[in-house]
Chain A
Amino acid sequence: MHRVASGDESAVAELYDRFGSLVFRVSRQLLPTQSEAEDAVQEVFIRLWQTADRYDPRRAKLVTWVMLITRRHLIDRLRRSAVRPNTTGMERETSDVRPEAAPDRESQLDERSVKLRRRIAELPELQRMVIERAYLQGYTLREISEQLGAPLGTVKSALSRGLERLRERTEADWAI
């Protein structure tokens, strides 16, 4: 990352080769179109260059750092463009798992994105609402606590359990 900070082109290329796919896939998960996701990837790598001298390997593995920068940038981007879906719309969308119910939006997402959103829809209500707001829309836990009128600790536990269940469900799917 020292070389990335100095603008070394080969270092930036190496960084992209290691993490470009991950950055794109997370961008694609949160942004509605491929072109927006591609623009976001470019912005993220510029951000990674700008912040490279702040990376501390004692505090986080590089993949964790890269994905944190990515997620923060995507949330900022969503907020700036004000395309963050309102919660009512998102709840309707994810609670109705019939693909024909929202063909335009789902046609813009790949199969895994659709599956992820359907899995989110199957979570217990509080976990689903917290996951949607935190993971897909970028609200902070405190904002979610205020929106739902639930204690912060409850919201945090719901988010943790919800993420665990999403990961467990995927592993179970693969095991079949």
Chain B
Amino acid sequence: MNFEHSEKGKETRQQVGAILKSYDNGLRVDKSSSEEFRPRLIKLQKSLAEKGFFNLSSQAQERSSDESETLQAIDFEIANFSASLFMSLKVSQLLVGLVARCKTELHKPLLDELCTGSLVGAIAHHGSSELSSSTPLILKKEGTAWLLNGTMPFVSNGLFADWIAVKATADDRIGFCLLSSDASGLVVGPKLQTLGLQEIGLCSLFFQNVAVPDHQFIMAADPAQLDGWLTNSLDLAVATASVGVMKRSFEAAQKHAASHAINGKPISRHQEISFKLAEMLALLQTAELLCCRAGWLVDTGHSEADVLVRCARVFCAENGERVASEALQVMAGWGVLSGREGERGYRDAKTLALTGTTTEKARIEIADAMLKSH
């Protein structure tokens, strides 16, 4: 067991930190429009690709423990900077990973281009039915062509993606349609205005007789395993982003408490405030460790990995809300001002809590696993 970050991990964090510093601060990134956000995302992707970091998540095989730790270090650094930038980056990386896992020789040029970081990816894998959150669309054969029709709501990066993987079934085979954003019949809906993570280009995608050549319908050898990888990756991303929100919220509250005085005494010296900060720090450290451990279990192929990822997803997201709310409380009037760290963290925390596997579903999955094993 080892609770220390490796020298490589620390060095990587510093390198990524330096890249992010060139961005302005996270607050300004999160107030950017989609037109401003997309180039920032690509700039980050390319910078990471130049250092060999971007394609780490694209590896279909297991990563070495060094590489896993490097990836975690990068993730935490970016999540701490901006939840929107981080989630957009992860979705883009997930497309790279998806193509890597399903690719044939035909897809190698696309994969190579994706790995340069110059393209933005999106994955549409929620169905339009209100009853099911993961119903794939159905490809129908018309003559020699497959045609895709339907709607996929809530697609992150959908607004500005270059390539989109759309979950679909074709003759009972489950896979993904690889579509470029200019595919005929693909209509990108307007930006969905959300409570938090406002910059991730969330929109609905409408498919009207979109032609999908055979080679652009990609499948993994084991679709269930691919689904599991996608779900775990997204849940871990949500957990990591939540830890980032917690860290920023805590730091903002701590800074405010140290500098804001009442009767000449910083409010951090009042137990009502200092004890809140202490609880926040305890939750933050617990969440970060749980997130790291869940990621490690996934990377080592541990039998309990899925359960731990759900645990991390629930714990980090729910306590992200808790910490963000307490931070707001500490910052009082200053906290609720628009555009400040307090209210941004609060909005992002709630939005993250609703992203990926819902906490309700996650709890059911955790319990089912426990009941099965006992």
Instruction: Tell me if chain B binds chain A.
Output: no
On B, residues with C-beta under 8 Å from A are: none
On A, residues with C-beta under 8 Å from B are: none
